Chains A and B, each alone.
Chain A
Amino acid sequence: MKAFYRVEYHKLFKSLMTFYYSMVYWLDFVYSPPWFYGKDIAIDVLSAIVVLLIGVFSFRNFCLDKKNKRHFFLGAAFVMLGLSFIVKILTNVLTRDTSWLAKQFWVSILGNQIVRSYTLIPALGFFLFALLTLFGFYIIYALSSKDELSMNYVIIAYFILISTYFTRFTYFVVYLTAFIFLLAIARRYFLAYKKNKYKNTLFLCISFAIITISQFVFIFTSSNPAIYALAELIQFIGYLFLLYTFVMVLRNAKKEK
């Protein structure tokens, strides 16, 4: 009798896991080529530091002026981007170091056919990375206009969720969506610069334009892993330019009387 229950539980667990894996089915995502291992993580760590720095600074501004909620939302957007980098770094590290062990574990429980070439960590990691990145860029896009925050944004947030869902089948959807958001952000900052002729706004526009190019390059990662390295480098230059803009903001504030 006892043996019967054990077998039934095992079957139940197996069918639950089969269902779960069918839900989190992901294509193989092309990450870094082996010769770029380590370097990509260093680049992502530095990019994460830049965006988190701006996020924390924006939160500090919100503490100073609680009536201006835009500071809070901008802080949230940059922290989301920072978190997306952290998730990406962790996914890369865990996938590279434990993928074989994890795969063996799941193969022993579920069988080779179910597990195939994907495991839980890259699937969840990429999902979180995509969601945080897109929401982060979307909030920056929404704040780059002086329009009041309204319910329209809830609908767009829903579409972000949908597009993240479809990255399961075509990884580049996330980069394409990020590219469109970033193109719109860069355009808005360029228009703002044309209006106010403020140099730091131009620097901000250039930073986002460079990051936009990087997202475009990321789209073609699957054709050649070296393209991933190129896109990472372009993205890094973009975030370095963003850091330069941030330093200029602080420096100008010092000069101001």
Chain B
Amino acid sequence: MQRKRSRLDIVYDMLLTISNKGGKIKPTHLMYKANLSHTQMKQYLGELKEKQLVEEQEKDERKMLVLTDKGFALIQKFNQMREFEKTFGL
């Protein structure tokens, strides 16, 4: 059985999903791709926006979520941490 995702895992999945989509994604796509409920999506997205990891842009009257430089840097830090954990067995 897979373990429950931690808060950090969810944030990482959200940021990685946006990054894999070229740094831009529609909110509904993010919700499905990151396996989130509507409530979770609202809560975590608010947090990401507040920390300026993600920003909202409007294109052709459609809302888009864009990963900021700070968001890209955080993904990099997460990747380094995961690699480090894998190497040292933490």
List the interface of chain A (C-beta within 8 A of B): 57-58, 60-61, 64-65, 67-68, 70-71, 74, 143-144, 146, 189, 192, 196, 198, 200-201, 203-204, 245, 249-250, 252-254, 256-257
Chain A's closest residue to B79 (CB) is A253
Q: Contacts A57-B84, A189-B89, A253-B80 known; list 4 others, CB within 8 Å.
A: A58-B84, A64-B77, A68-B90, A192-B89
Task: Kindly list chain A residues whose C-beta atoms are within 8 Å of the C-beta of B6.
Answer: 67
Q: How many A-B residue pairs have CB under 8 A?
A: 64
Task: Kindly list chain A residues whose C-beta atoms are within 8 Å of the C-beta of B83.
Answer: 200, 249-250, 252-253, 256
Quote the shortest CB–CB distance from B85 to chain A (angstroms).
8
Q: Are B20 and A257 in contact (CB under 8 A)?
A: yes
Q: Are A249 and B89 in contact (CB under 8 A)?
A: no
Task: Kindly list chain A residues whose C-beta atoms are within 8 Å of the C-beta of B3.
Answer: none
Chain B's closest residue to A58 (CB) is B84
Quote the shortest CB–CB distance from A188 to chain B (angstroms).
8
List the interface of chain B (C-beta within 8 A of A): 6, 8, 16, 19-20, 76-90
Q: Tell me which of B19, B20, B80, B90 contacts A250 (CB under 8 A).
A: B80
Task: Kindly list chain A residues whose C-beta atoms are within 8 Å of the C-beta of B79.
Answer: 253-254, 256
Q: Are B89 and A254 in contact (CB under 8 A)?
A: no
Task: Kindly list chain B residues whose C-beta atoms are within 8 Å of the C-beta of A201.
Answer: 86-87, 89
Task: Kindly list chain B residues whose C-beta atoms are within 8 Å of the C-beta of A250.
Answer: 80, 83
